[in-house]
Amino acid sequence: MAKIQSGENSTKKEAIIQKAAFLFKTKGYSATSMRELADSLGVEAPSLYNYIGSKSELLQSICSKMANEFHLNLDVVENNTATAVAKVEAIVRFHIQKMLNNFDEVFVANHEWKHLKEPMLSSFLNQRRNYEKRVMAVFENGIEKNELRITNPYVAVLTILSAVRGLEFWYGHKKNVTQEELENEMVKNLLNGIVK
């Protein structure tokens, strides 16, 4: 009953979360059973509850971890880049890199958040709305400073972030392209239609 959170258990917990992210991505949160998760870790289902509180807690860990990382990056970008164009490029590159390097967790945060329970659901949606506003502000600033040749910042943000996020639909069947090529080519495609 007592859940011990020692260093070793934290590692175990991290392993459970990682495997959960993989399964939630592959089969969806609802279609993934705790027995299945336990199986893939080589234990029985009840054993999991020595390390975690519940199935929904696993989802929550993944979603809030991702939300924090994206917000943290935005802090860095806002402070360390000069022009709006540089900010946009830095944001796009971070999104591409997270998508390629933390695929399972990003995918789950993008798709399975709707299975979060209140109040975490509201909190997650608030954070996301906040993130979008901050990105939008970067674009608006770029218009003001005459760096971007877009007329509608809302549509531009929608178009660009969606294009990057769309990497998830193609994950697994990318042929003949290295991660570097993909990133550079995509940035070029997207920015050349925007940067003056």
Partner DNA sequence: CCTACCGATCGGTAGG
**DSSP, residue by residue, 37-87:** HHHHHTS-HHHHTTT-S-HHHHHHHHHHHHHHHHHHHHHHHHHH--SHHHH
Q: Which of 4, 170, 178, 180 binds a second copy (CB under 8 A)?
A: 170
Tokens 């089969």 label which residue? Answer: 27
Between CA 29 and CA 45 the distance in angstroms is 16
User: Please, which residue, 45 or 182, has the CB nearer to a second copy?
Assistant: 182
User: Please, which residue, 45 or 120, has the CB nearer to DNA?
Assistant: 45
CB atoms within 10 A of CB 111: 14
192 binds, among a second copy, DNA, none (CB under 5 to 8 A by kind): a second copy
Q: Closest separation between CB of residue 123 and DNA, Å?
A: 19
Angle 83-85-91 from CA coordinates, rounded to 5°: 105
Between CA 157 and CA 169 the distance in angstroms is 19
Rounding to the nearest 10 degrees, give the CA dihedral for residues 139, 145, 147, 150.
50
136 binds, among a second copy, DNA, none (CB under 5 to 8 A by kind): none
* Interface pattern 96-135 for a second copy (x via CB under 8 A): --------------xx--xx--------------------
Between CA 196 and CA 145 the distance in angstroms is 11
Residues 33-52 that bind DNA (CB under 7 A): 33-36, 38, 42-47, 49-50
* Interface pattern 51-80 for DNA (x via CB under 7 A): ---xxx------------------------
The site for DNA (CB under 7 A) is made up of 1, 12, 32-36, 38, 42-47, 49-50, 54-56
The site for a second copy (CB under 8 A) is made up of 26-31, 110-111, 114-115, 150-152, 154-156, 158-167, 169-170, 174-177, 181-182, 185-186, 189-194
